[in-house]
Structure 1
């Protein structure tokens, strides 16, 4: 597992290549919650939870199941916020203490071009005016908006889509007018593109 360093140092982020044995890391309760998920999905889920449990251990937590709420969001120990993500070959997790970070979302995508037919779906009309085509063809906006969704839903209990989020890469802020909130955003690139979205907690304000 690799630790990814973001500017917001109160957030722990890790990534791990997905391996065939990773589904064996799932607790029985996690397997039951996955239902009839195929082996590929179980491996992805197991890999993300390996990362999450490794990060939780750094904060003193013992290994524990990470289940899901009815909405599909992962559950975390009291006092912790977190988020899970994966694509076909890499899994990621991010956690933080809730007193420092009030809401948190992470997403990961391969560093590959976004299909052209998805640009209009992902980018708002304003974003298509502000950003040039090479940027729009990358997955930057996609991964950041996915991270915003994951941070926003547990906080605001509202479903949002790509068009509900305006990304300002100059100020590193994502605006969600529908939910009347804004998130700090960060982007990290290696072989994958990792998007982070968060709101500071009371202990950081």
Structure 2
């Protein structure tokens, strides 16, 4: 069960209590770093569409489908059928990593509801498999949260339209896919991101790192040279954008959030970060804080980051002192 293991899974190491997750890793999948302007397998706000690593001069996180690396899934069972809305597809247990064998041939997507499959009717095969893998993890996480099975369609800007009363996020990159969900009564916003642990391609760093972040990255690189701090900062900003978008925000550029990572003492390649929003937060009954908390982890050739914004606890109702009866 998620969140109750002595050795947490990858997502479990960066998520707080109350969040349910599901993830899959693929043995032997390469984590090559793409060239500038090509797809890096960076997901959209909450998953659902790939976002490329921008080249210099394009510092805006735009959640549009641009392809991405092909994610292979196991051969489907001939008896497996597409579930209908309201019917639970036989999903594996959530909260634990699933090692997926590499198939000999590229199969059709698994675990999609008919309405979800219709969203990918015109997509290329690699994109369909990527979409199916993310939705599969999302369904497992929602089932762990106790949410009734149903199609996870698209909402604003192509991000998943999470069931009422929940917040969530999806991520996928070469060899990895995951999803995290929580009750909106506990979290205002949630964003996760996974990246290959390697320095950003030439020319991309200048589009991602701004202001005092550059000096901070140089300081961190001198202290911990084994961490690709620029890639970690990029991933953290992706998680910030997903949390921002899920809360109802519109455009957020790389220059609109200032991220400061804080490492833990050796030997754990993990830590926390804070992201300071430099633009006004979206309006809402509970305003999004200007400083967002986050966690990061480097393990198994991946960088994972997460932003989970807790919902403020309302103060107790004011009560006057009881009157004395004479």
TM-score (norm 2): 0.58
User: Which structure has more helix as a fraction of its residues?
Assistant: 1
Q: Verify the 8 A CA contact 1:112 1:139 in the aligned structure 2.
A: yes
Deviations 1:121-144 (A, max 9, x none): 111121002221556654100111
1:19 is aligned, of 72, 82, 91, to: 72
Which residue of structure 2 lines up, in the alignment, with residue 172 of structure 1?
A: 273
CA 60–13 in structure 1, closer or farther in 2 if over 3 Å, else same: closer
Which residue of structure 2 lines up, in the alignment, with residue 189 of structure 1?
A: 298
Provide structure 2 residue ranges, at least 5 long, that are not aligned to the other structure.
3-8, 26-70, 75-107, 263-271, 282-289, 316-326
Which residue of structure 2 lines up, in the alignment, with residue 101 of structure 1?
A: 187
User: Which structure has more strand as a fraction of its residues?
Assistant: 1
Query: Cα distance, 1:96 vs. partner?
Result: 0.8
Which residue of structure 1 lines up, in the alignment, with residue 14 of structure 2?
A: 6
Q: How does 1:89-168 map to 2 (within 5 A)?
A: 89-132=175-218, 134=225, 138-168=230-260
Deviations 1:88-126 (A, max 9, x none): 321111111111111011111112221131111111121
CA RMSD of aligned residues (A): 2.4
Q: In terms of mean alpha carbon deviation, does 16-25 or 112-121 score higher? A: 16-25
Partners of 1:9 and 1:82 in 2: how far apart?
14
- Secondary structure of 2:178's counterpart equals strand
Q: Verify the 8 A CA contact 1:113 1:139 in the aligned structure 2.
A: yes
Partners of 2:242 and 2:167 in 1: how far apart?
11
Aligned residue pairs total 205
Provide structure 1 residue ranges, at least 5 long, that are not aligned to the other structure.
none
Looking at CA atoms only, which structure, 1 or 2, has the larger radius of gyration?
Answer: 2
TM-score (norm 1): 0.89
